[in-house]
Structure 1
Amino acid sequence: MAERLSFPLRLELRGAPSRTMTYLSPVIAIVATLLLGALLFLALGKDPLAGLKVFLIDPFNGKRAISELLLKSVPLILCALGLAVCFRASIWNIGAEGQFTVGALCSGAMLVWLDVPGHGVSGGMGLVLMIVAGVIGGALWAAITAFLRDQFNANEILVSLMLTYVAQLLLMWAVNGPLKDPNGMNFPQSKVFSSEFMLPTLISGTRLHIGFAVAIVAAVLMAIFMMRSLRGFSLMVGGVAPHAARYAGFSARSALWVSLLISGAFAGLAGAFEIAGPIGQLLPSVSPGYGFAAIIVAFIGRLHPIGAILGGLIMSLLYLGGELAQSRLGLPSAITGVFQGMLLFLLLACDTLIDYRLAWNKKV
Structure 2
Amino acid sequence: MAKLLSPVVLAPRGVPSRRMAYASPLFAIVLTLLFGAMLFLLIGKDPMAALKVFLVDPLKDKRAIGEVLLKTVPLVLCALGLSVCYRANVWNIGADGQLILGGIFAGATVLWFDTPGNTTSGFVVLVLASLAGVVGGMVWASVTALLKDRFNANEILVSLMLTYIAQQLLLWVVNGPLKDPNGMNFPQSKVFSSAFLLPNLLPGSRLHVGFAVMLVLVVIMTVFVFRSFAGYRLQVGGTAPLAARYAGFSSRNALWSALMVSGGTAGLAGAFEVTGPIGQLLPSISPGYGFTAIIVAFVGRLHPVGAVFGGIVMSLFYIGGEMAQSRLGLPSAIGWVFQGMLLFFLLACDTLIDNRLRWRARAA
User: Normalising by the residue count of structure 2, what TM-score does the alignment of the two structures yield?
Assistant: 0.93
C-alpha separation in 2, matches of 1:61 and 1:173: 40
State the AA in 2 paired with 1:208: L
SS of 2:233's equivalent in the other structure is helix
State the AA in 2 paired with 1:46: K
The 5 Å alignment of 1:1-364 reads 15-16=12-13, 18-356=17-355
State percent identity of aligned pairs. Answer: 68
Q: Deviation digits for residues 40-63 of structure 1, max 9, x if unmatched?
A: 111111100011000111111000
- Structure 1 stretch 51-60 or stretch 116-125: which is displaced more? 116-125
C-alpha separation in 1, matches of 2:323 and 2:12: 44
Shift of the 19–357 alpha-carbon distance from structure 1 to 2, 3 Å rule, reads closer
Which residues of structure 2 form unaligned runs of 5+? 1-8, 359-364
C-alpha separation in 1, matches of 2:115 and 2:12: 63
- In the TM superposition, residue 237 of structure 1 has moved relative to its aligned partner by 2.1
Equivalent residues of 2:238, 2:251 under 8 A apart: no
Equivalent residues of 1:14, 1:355 under 8 A apart: no
Equivalent residues of 2:97, 2:167 under 8 A apart: yes
Q: Deviation digits for residues 117-136 of structure 1, max 9, x if unmatched?
A: 11332111110111111000
C-alpha separation in 1, matches of 2:100 and 2:93: 13
Equivalent residues of 2:98, 2:141 under 8 A apart: yes
SS of 1:277's equivalent in the other structure is coil
Total equivalences in the alignment: 348
C-alpha separation in 1, matches of 2:190 and 2:38: 45
Q: Deviation digits for residues 330-355 of structure 1, max 9, x if unmatched?
A: 11111011111111111111111111
Equivalent residues of 2:11, 2:357 under 8 A apart: no
C-alpha separation in 2, matches of 1:298 and 1:284: 27
Equivalent residues of 2:235, 2:254 under 8 A apart: no
Equivalent residues of 2:100, 2:285 under 8 A apart: yes
C-alpha separation in 2, matches of 1:37 and 1:285: 29
C-alpha separation in 1, matches of 2:98 and 2:11: 38
C-alpha separation in 1, matches of 2:325 and 2:181: 34
- In the TM superposition, residue 144 of structure 1 has moved relative to its aligned partner by 0.3
C-alpha separation in 2, matches of 1:346 and 1:292: 17
Equivalent residues of 1:15, 1:355 under 8 A apart: no
State the AA in 1 paired with 2:72: S
Equivalent residues of 2:187, 2:282 under 8 A apart: yes
State the AA in 2 paired with 1:86: C
Q: Deviation digits for residues 85-125 of structure 1, max 9, x if unmatched?
A: 00000000000000000000111111111110113321111
SS of 1:249's equivalent in the other structure is coil
- In the TM superposition, residue 238 of structure 1 has moved relative to its aligned partner by 2.8
State the AA in 2 paired with 1:123: G
- In the TM superposition, residue 358 of structure 1 has moved relative to its aligned partner by 7.9
- In the TM superposition, residue 13 of structure 1 has moved relative to its aligned partner by 7.6
C-alpha separation in 2, matches of 1:262 and 1:183: 38
**Cα RMSD (Å) of the superposition?**
1.4
- In the TM superposition, residue 240 of structure 1 has moved relative to its aligned partner by 3.6
Which residues of structure 1 form unaligned runs of 5+? 1-11, 360-364
Q: Deviation digits for residues 142-176 of structure 1, max 9, x if unmatched?
A: 00000000000000000000000000000000001
SS of 1:278's equivalent in the other structure is coil
Equivalent residues of 1:98, 1:291 under 8 A apart: yes
Equivalent residues of 2:238, 2:255 under 8 A apart: no
C-alpha separation in 2, matches of 1:254 and 1:13: 38
- In the TM superposition, residue 275 of structure 1 has moved relative to its aligned partner by 0.7
State the AA in 1 paired with 2:13: A
Equivalent residues of 2:241, 2:250 under 8 A apart: no
C-alpha separation in 2, matches of 1:44 and 1:224: 47
Equivalent residues of 1:223, 1:305 under 8 A apart: yes
- Structure 1 stretch 241-250 or stretch 206-215: which is displaced more? 241-250
Equivalent residues of 2:97, 2:162 under 8 A apart: yes
Equivalent residues of 1:56, 1:321 under 8 A apart: yes
C-alpha separation in 2, matches of 1:336 and 1:270: 21
- In the TM superposition, residue 15 of structure 1 has moved relative to its aligned partner by 4.0
State the AA in 2 paired with 1:51: A
User: Normalising by the residue count of structure 1, what TM-score does the alignment of the two structures yield?
Assistant: 0.93
State the AA in 1 paired with 2:68: L
Equivalent residues of 1:83, 1:298 under 8 A apart: yes
